[in-house]
Chains A and B, each alone.
Chain A
Amino acid sequence: MLAGSLGAAHAADLVISNWDGYMAKDIAETFKAATGLEIEVVNHATNEEIMGKLMASQGKGYDIVFVSSPFAEILNHQSLVEPLDKAAIPNLSNLYPEAASLAYDPGNAYSVPYTWGTTGLCYRSDLVKTVPDSWMNLLAPSDDIKGKTTMLATDRWLMAAGELAKGYSVNETDPAKIAEVKDLLIAAKKTLLAYDDTTFYSKLVSAEASLVHAWDGWCNYGITENKDIKFVVPKEGSDLWVDTIVVMKGSEKKDAAMKFINFILDPTNHAWAAQNILYKVPNKAAMESLDKALIEQYPNMGMTPAELTKYELLRDLGAAQKDYSRAVSEIKASN
């Protein structure tokens, strides 16, 4: 048994790093059955964790990596990702046209979108007096939900809530506007229960919170447990987040890597993500194959690519990241 698993680790054709639970558990078996190739899946908890590893090793040691779009963009600027060999990935044609023209990588030159969605408000329809429709419902809550709201703790999304409320870009770099957003978020902090980007949906289920700042897919986890939980994209809009797949330039198994991407883009395999982790996938054939009951139960699964791509993608901020990080420290240290 031990010898067998050690042997497999050495023989793996591909090393893939992904978030835990973000692919089918039996992916290694199904991929081997389809292609005869062995894969080894390793997990990373956050984008930053895998980025740290990739920066330290200049991309060596991994063939395929799953990261969110701003990080794919950074990897591309660092020349660490391999241009996709489109001839080897015929299933690219399953993607929605919108998914092939995303601003960070038009034409999917170096990345393939795996899942995508929005950030909005997730709430208990039985606990709020007025149905939320604006970011201000979160940032300046009515008395009945004061102390029962949470915001995402991750700096970009925390700032985005304030930026969208003010009608600014989610990639705003003007220091004066960043300062305005900071003041708005400091005022909002006084009404918050917590900053939370891991357990917000269970706070809704337990009724500890009534209205939370949430990624749509995670709100679905709450809906699974309580049908009174609903999701809304506020009228001022949302960001569009995309988790992508990239092939590392340092990989020695590029042909196998392209085969793996083609395998993931197969409608049945890609639909797995929608059915099991309740995230929208940018694969037309996969989305059309979904059971209609799924979309009835989780209405945000039914958002069309046209609706999604109205929203602005988070881009790497470059030097302005410092201003964001200082603003967020100031917000979190305020009392």
Chain B
Amino acid sequence: MSYQSARSNLLAAPAIAWLVVFMVAPCLLILSYAFFERGVWGGIEYTVTLENFARVVDPLYAKIFLTSARIAGLATLLAILIAYPAAYAISRAPRLRQPMLLFFAVLPFWSNYLIRTYAWMVLLNREGLINNLLRWFGYQGEPLSLLYTESAVIIGLVYNYLPFVILAIYSSLSRLNPELMEASRDLGGGPIRTFWRVTLPLTLPGVAAGGVFVFVLSIGNFVTPALLGGGRFQMIGNVVYDQFLSANDWPFGAALGLVLIAIMILLLMLQARATAHASGERARVEP
């Protein structure tokens, strides 16, 4: 080991020790519960079993996994569709103004997630701001049921994770070499063609990073479906939450959590591969 790498290992040691003690070890401990039985009076009975995994593949939970994936997928798609133009606009704004625009994009993060979610409840409920505005504009019918719907859950997820996607896409847009666009123009490419053939492919790693972020955070989310879905939409995060905090069935909750983690790791690996692939492309374009 060279002196250089020995020193950097030494410097990283406190952080790694911290992560191992407070993050890796507790997580592994909880996940190990998946292989034990629920005690009749709650808690863990240390008898090794695979029954919890047998319960996970029950069609009921498969259906809940699929629902969660669909909701998270829609949220991801919407977030990208909104974030891309926003990130593009910020990256094209005068350089001096960009930090301020980014600041506004992340500003909502300065308030608590729960408060922001409750704010959506105030907006969407039957006696809420939107319905009151409609009435003010002369709408006479029954108030619209906007809250406690799947759309409300998706809106909440998109809203809460949008800044992550904007930042991820912005960072890959701002690293784009402007000469590539010029080259495309010189070779006769119009703005649309330049976007499709040059800008978009080269910023896909940013899109993938942002997208995986939203998807991973959404699929395990339990606060948004509980509050904006009124508990009528069960996502896998809610089932895990219920197992730990209501059914007192930690082993089964741990087994569901393991599956969720496996899905996330798979997605992150795919994203890493996509990024590696794209940087290979970039290497070919940027001599």
- Using a CB–CB cutoff of 8 Å, the interface residues on chain A facing chain B are 46, 48-49, 51-52, 55, 74, 77-78, 147, 150, 153-155, 189, 192-196, 206-208, 316, 318-319, 321-322, 324-326, 328-330, 332-333
- A76's closest neighbor in chain B, by CB? B41
The residue in chain B whose Cβ has the minimal distance to the Cβ of A152 is B231
> How extensive is the interface on chain B, given as a class?
20 to 34
Task: Give Cα A147 to B142, complex, Å.
Answer: 12
Q: A74-B42, A153-B231 are in contact. List 8 more A-B contacts (CB 8 A).
A: A52-B245, A55-B43, A78-B43, A155-B242, A155-B247, A208-B125, A333-B64, A333-B234
Q: Which of B42, B60, B67, B233 contacts A55 (CB 8 A)?
A: B42
CB distance B42 to A325 under 8 Å?
A: no
Complex-state Cα separation, A226 to B265, whole angstroms: 51
Contact B248 A48 (CB under 8 A): yes
Decide yes or no whether B126 CB sits under 8 A from chain A: yes
Interface members, chain B 136-152 (any A CB < 8 Å)? 145, 148
Nearest CB on A from B61, distance (A):
7
B145–A147 touching, CB < 8 Å: yes
B193 at the interface (CB under 8 A from A): no
A330 to B61, CA, bound (A): 9
Identify which of B64, B232, B246 contacts A325 (C-beta below 8 A).
Answer: B246
Give a binary string over B58-73; 1 marks a CB under 8 Å from any A CB, 0 the rest: 0011011001000000
Within 8 Å of chain A (Cβ to Cβ): is B189? no
Asked if A206 and B127 sit within 8 Å, CB to CB, the answer is: yes
Bound-state Cα–Cα, A189 to B232, Å:
8
Contact status A321-B238, CB under 8 Å: no
The chain A residue sitting closest to B60, CB to CB, is A330
CB distance from A43 to the nearest CB of B (A): 16
Cα A92 to Cα B243 in complex, Å, equals 37
Q: Chain B's nearest CB lies how many Å from the CB of A69?
A: 14
For window 213-242 of chain B, which residues contact chain A by CB distance below 8 Å?
226, 230-234, 238-239, 242
B40 touches A318 (CB 8 A): yes
* A51-B42, A329-B242 given; A324·B231 CB < 8 A: no
Let me know if A329 and B61 touch, CB within 8 A. Answer: yes
> Contact: B238 with A332, CB < 8 Å?
yes
Q: Are B230 and A196 in contact (CB under 8 A)?
A: yes
| Given A147-B145, A196-B230, A333:B67 Cβ within 8 A | yes
B247 pairs with A195, CB closer than 8 A: no
List chain A residues, Cβ under 8 A from B234. 329, 332-333
| Shortest beta-carbon contacts, A-B, top 3 | A194-B230, A195-B231, A325-B247
A51 to B249, CA, bound (A): 12
A322 proximity list for chain B (CB < 8 A): 38, 247, 249
Residues of chain B within 8 A (CB-CB) of A77 are 41
Say whether, besides A207-B127, A329-B234, A333-B60, A193 and B245 are in contact (CB < 8 Å).
no
The CA of A52 and the CA of B249, in the complex, are separated in Å by: 11
Cβ contacts under 8 Å, A206 to chain B = 125, 127
Q: B88 near A: Cβ within 8 Å?
A: no
Task: Tell whether B159 is near chain A: CB-to-CB under 8 Å.
Answer: no
Shortest beta-carbon distance from A53 to chain B in Å: 12
CB closest chain-B residue, reference A332: B234
Report the separation of the CA atoms of residues A332 and B125 in the bound assembly, to the nearest whole angstrom.
21
A333 and B63: CB pair below 8 A? yes
Determine the chain A residues whose CB is within 8 A of the CB of B232 once the complex forms. Answer: 189, 192, 194-195, 332
A192 vs B63: C-alpha distance in the bound complex, in angstroms? Answer: 21
Could you write out 17 A-B pairs with CB less than 8 Å apart?
A46-B245, A48-B248, A51-B42, A52-B245, A150-B230, A154-B246, A155-B247, A189-B232, A192-B230, A194-B232, A206-B125, A321-B249, A325-B247, A329-B239, A330-B60, A332-B233, A333-B67
| Closest residue on chain A to residue B67 by CB atoms | A333
- Partner of B230 from the list A55, A154, A193, A329 (CB cut-off 8 Å) is A193
Instruction: Verify A325–B249 contact, CB threshold 8 A.
Output: yes
**A155 contact set on B, CB distance < 8 A:** 242, 246-247
A175 to chain B, nearest CB (A): 15
Residue B53 at the A interface, CB < 8 A?
no
Q: Which residue of A lies closest to B253 (CB)?
A: A325
Task: Given A77-B41, A333-B234, check contact A194 B248 (CB 8 Å).
Answer: no
B35 at the interface (CB under 8 A from A): no
How far, in angstroms, from A74 to B242 measured CA to CA in the complex? 18
A195 touches B38 (CB 8 A): no
Residue of B nearest to A205 (CB): B127
Contact with A along B116-160 (1 / 0, CB 8 A): 000000000111000000000000000001001000000000000
